[in-house]
Amino acid sequence: MLLHGPPGCGKSRAAQFVAATLELPLVTARLDGLVSSLLGSTAKNIRALFDFVDQTPCVLFLDEFDAVAKKRDDHHELGELKRVVNSLLQNIDALSAGIPVVAATNHPHLLDPAVWRRFEFHVHIGMPDRKARRELFMMYLPPYSSSSDRLIECMAALSDGLSPSDINLVCRSVARRVALSSKSDAPVSEINILLNFKRRYGESVRDSPPTRTLDDDIIHLRTADPSLFTYSRISSLLGVSKGKINSVLTRAGDNNAE
């Protein structure tokens, strides 16, 4: 099975699931670690890996697969690449029947066409939709946070463009803030932590001004889902008056002003 898609979307987790379902150990090989600058050493390393797997009942997981399975017609690569790809294909073909092989890549366009034919199943794992993001927040948010069903729905709406790995990092940040806060501190705002994360890492906000303002947050919430982020809900989440919200959105040209 060949898994492909953006980083952080669960390809490694899928390989772990396959191994757990089959009740076999997972042998993970990061193929970029097998690449050597010495002539012929990369092919020898690949052969040693497959020799080991051939004697050990397991699921073989080839991570960073594009490191050694690149197209052989790339004129910028040396002849060594072709020998490595040939060695990889030969070892896959010679592997004993009954040993599942799972490969993963973030760059499927780099793979040699012959590599695709070695895998019966091609699975694209893409970015999560809103329903999936809601399930991820329900899974990862700590039980001792103030995460109500409505708050989780808000976070799912605001997290468009974030991968499952990103969502896990947001929830871990929430857990740290809750664990380190004292009774005298203000309640932890999961929404603010999510907005701060998107400001720092999210692609949808990388072109925004480096300094986030309250006006930016109001506009961002309203744009995400006007039916969910009503004036009352924005007021509750950000602690601002409805008059302030109306003023900001009017200046921004919000056609759904209340």
Domains of the chain and any CATH numbers: 2-124 (3.40.50.300), 130-251 (no CATH)
> pLDDT per residue over 203-255, tens digit each?
444 444 456 688 888 888 888 888 888 899 888 888 889 889 999 888 887 65
What are the CB-based long-range contacts (under 8 Å, 24+) for 195-199?
195/158, 195/220, 197/162, 197/166, 197/169, 197/170, 197/173, 198/158, 198/159, 198/161, 198/162
- Of the pLDDT bands very low, low, confident and very high (cuts 50, 70, 90), residue 11 is very high
Q: For residue 178, how far is the Cα from the chain centroid?
A: 24
**55-81 pLDDT, tens digit each:** 888 999 999 898 888 887 766 555 667
- pLDDT band (50, 70, 90) for residue 9: very high
Instruction: Of 3, 14, 111, 95, give the one whose Cα is nearest residue 49.
Output: 95
| pLDDT tens per residue across span 129-188 | 999 999 999 999 877 665 678 888 989 999 988 999 999 999 999 888 888 876 655 556
Rounded Cα–Cα distance for residues 133 and 212 (Å)? 24
Rounded to two decimals, the pTM is: 0.78
